[in-house]
Amino acid sequence: MRMMLVTAAFPMVSNAAFAQEQVAPEQQPRCWLGSTSYSPGATVRAGEGVMLCTPSFVWETSKAAASGCVFEQKFFNTGAIHEGNECQPDGSWATISKPDQK
């Protein structure tokens, strides 16, 4: 008898669970550069200058220093060294000279 009650109650519980609406998480708007997204306030070198991600999620030219450098869709902080290059404050890469080996 108890088994029949448990078996009869299960479909009612599972139907209530299925009746709940599945809501997808809301996507937060971002500024995009290639396949990388940035938050408002981010500064990144793009083309010949530094661009600023505005609160309206569009890129605008800026005179601010870049937050870092982009290389192969990866972001590096200013001062980072990658493959013999150093990320500069303007968002560009500078080749590091190797010390003379004796």
Report yes or no on 18 lying in a domain.
Answer: no
Report yes or no on 8 lying in a domain.
Answer: no
Report yes or no on 16 lying in a domain.
Answer: no
**93: β partners:** 87
State the total domains in the chain: 1
Reported pTM: 0.59
Residues 6 or more apart in contact with residue 5 via CB below 8 angstroms: none
Full domain range(s) for residue 52: 31-95
- Band (pLDDT 50/70/90 cuts) for residue 94 is very high
Q: DSSP 3-state assignment of 18?
A: helix
Report yes or no on 64 lying in a domain.
Answer: yes
Average pLDDT estimate for 67-85:
91
Report yes or no on 2 lying in a domain.
Answer: no
